[in-house]
Amino acid sequence: MKIVVIGGTGLIGSKLVKKLRDEGQEVVAAAPATGVNSITGEGLAGALKGASVSIDVTNSPSWEDTAVMKFFETSTRHQLKYGAAAGVKHHIALSVVGTDRLLESGFFRAKLAQEDLVKASSIPYSIVRATQFFEFVKSIADLSTEGNKVRLPPVLIQPMAADDVASALAGIAIGSPVNGTVEIGGPEQFRLDELVRRDLVARKDPREVISDPHARYYGIEVSERTLVPNDDARLGETRFEDWLTQSAAQIPNQGVRRVGDSS
């Protein structure tokens, strides 16, 4: 089975390409670096020729409202148009849990537009909504930083490892289209402020996390369960603490600290 991973050089894409190849699938990693551009359409027809499955794990280089909408609309339209012409039988799009609850943000309006285009296309599809990646926790801190303080609301979050996102997508790619939405998440729930505090402590990042019920997540007002998946979500296995230990150990000259360790 030929599978095309569009955005195949990114965080999720590169892991997904490797997993599918390890399983013996014929995989094309499609991205600008490999001559495939979903915005201009360049290389899409060639990459998708003879493909059974296309998987969209692209992301927009800019998250500014107009730019991100233009990216996801144009990129998705091109993938669906060239996919239909090539006879693709299953298109999979990676989206975000809670997208319809986060529409105050232009980024999530663009993700919803992407989902709507996929639903309206003639290609059978699966939309996979994932919770925040462990790898994204540091970016959440960066987006909420003022001076040396990170203000975050203590709402629930159920993040997952990028590796588990890729495994879930690989499983869905070799199955039948659900023609609907599947949610995936991590094995544990956290409070957002506590999660970010643990991440920063492990990285020896001196920023202080302030728990503030009025603080925004990514500029958006969120409530207790905005970020958590439904009860029927498929859950990854990797625990945050284990991932932190492993990833912090990979940063040179950086041991792992845990909340409560004395420095």
- Smaller CB separation from ligand NAP, 63 or 257: 63
Question: Per rule CB under 6 A, is residue 234 in the interface with ligand NAP?
Answer: no
- Smaller CB separation from ligand NAP, 58 or 247: 58
The answer to whether 190 and 259 have CB atoms below 8 angstroms apart is no
Q: From the list 26, 33, 223, 259, which residue makes contact with ligand NAP (rule: CB under 6 A)? A: 33
CB of 132 to ligand NAP, least distance (A): 4
Collapsing DSSP to helix, strand or coil, 16 comes out as helix
Q: From the list 3, 10, 168, 233, which residue makes contact with ligand NAP (rule: CB under 6 A)? A: 10
Q: Please, is 154 exposed, middle or buried when counting C-beta atoms within 10 Å of its C-beta (0-12, 13-18, 19+)?
A: middle
Q: Which of residues 118-147 bind ligand NAP (CB under 6 A)?
A: 130, 132-133, 136
Q: From the list 7, 98, 153, 229, which residue makes contact with ligand NAP (rule: CB under 6 A)? A: 7
Q: Alpha-carbon distance 217 to 104, whole Å?
A: 11
| Tokens (6 digits) for 43 | 């290389």
Q: Alpha-carbon distance 161 to 243, whole Å?
A: 8
| Tokens (6 digits) for 211 | 């728990």
Question: Per rule CB under 6 A, is residue 32 in the interface with ligand NAP?
Answer: yes
**CB neighbours (10 Å) of residue 128?**
24
| Tokens (6 digits) for 249 | 């150990």
Q: From the list 96, 127, 215, 227, which residue makes contact with ligand NAP (rule: CB under 6 A)? A: 96
Amino acid letter, 236: G
CB of 7 to ligand NAP, least distance (A): 3
Nearest to ligand NAP by Cβ — which residue? 10
Q: From the list 27, 47, 57, 88, which residue makes contact with ligand NAP (rule: CB under 6 A)? A: 57
Residue 48 DSSP class = H
| Tokens (6 digits) for 23 | 């399983």
Residue 229 DSSP class = P
Question: Per rule CB under 6 A, is residue 106 in the interface with ligand NAP?
Answer: no
Q: Alpha-carbon distance 89 to 2, whole Å?
A: 11
Question: Per rule CB under 6 A, is residue 9 in the interface with ligand NAP?
Answer: yes
Question: Per rule CB under 6 A, is residue 55 in the interface with ligand NAP?
Answer: no
Residues that bind ligand NAP (CB under 6 A): 6-7, 9-13, 31-33, 36-39, 57-59, 75, 94, 96, 111, 130, 132-133, 136
